[in-house]
Structure 1
């Protein structure tokens, strides 16, 4: 199956593995990310850093978005990225400030990959709320 939306699926099999710290690497600063890229270390990462998230999305041409009708009392409820060629007809664009305000209010984490094992860019990403033991 040649699905360019691979970024929306779990790259690891097994229950609970997407939240397991052993399969991801927390990135808190751009400097740390740059060092990992220079060392060619590729794995699933997790961050709350707005600059890293925005740069990751913009390098892929993705824009912040939400699902129409998912807002409640003027607040965004569902956060998405609108990648070129996918979902734009069903997603509503939002500005980065609103997207990050919701991201922060929900204490979300951004789990992502920069590249696949073959070196091509990966669109894999998942927005997650931390489990109680991670807070």
Structure 2
């Protein structure tokens, strides 16, 4: 059985991403204004067909926006079959 967890702990998020080869990124052309480059994502470059759509950013910039937007990180550690999962999404902090 796979279960989801939710956090806004920066170190926990960085550790989860690093274990899967993930890096902080933004989706190009989704920001809606000149001062907002786009929607936050964790990008997995080794498994991505959408490299052109994503711009890698520093963790510091990622977490600044993450905290300003009061987001939580909803994620799954393992799939039902036990394989590492890359499932994640950003949700409003409760």
Q: Is the pair's TM-score, using the shorter chain for normalization, greater than 0.5? A: yes
**Structure number with larger C-alpha Rg:** 1
Structure-2 residue corresponding to 1:95: 58
Secondary structure of 2:77 counterpart: coil
- Where do 5+ consecutive residues of structure 1 fail to align? 1-40
For the 8 Å contact 1:65–1:82, the answer to whether it is kept is yes
Structure of greater relative contact order (alpha carbons < 8 Å, 6+ residues apart): 2
Q: 2:9 aligns with which of 49, 65, 71?
A: 49
List per-residue Cα deviations over 1:8-49 (Å, max 9, x = no partner). Answer: xxxxxxxxxxxxxxxxxxxxxxxxxxxxxxxxx952100000
Secondary structure of 2:61 counterpart: helix
Distance 2:37 2:17 in 1: 19
Structure 1 residue 119: Cα displacement: 1.1
Structure-1 residue corresponding to 2:92: 129
Q: 4+ residue runs of structure 1 moved beyond 4 angstroms?
A: none
RMSD: 1.8
Number of equivalences: 91
Structure-2 residue corresponding to 1:8: none
Distance 1:70 1:126 in 2: 16
- Where do 5+ consecutive residues of structure 2 fail to align? none
Matched, 1:81 2:21: no
Structure-2 residue corresponding to 1:104: 67
Q: 1:123 to 1:75 in 2, by over 3 A?
A: same
Structure 1 residue 63: Cα displacement: 0.8
Q: 1:60 to 1:78 in 2, by over 3 A?
A: same
Matched ranges for 1:13-32 at <5 A: none
Structure-1 residue corresponding to 2:20: 60
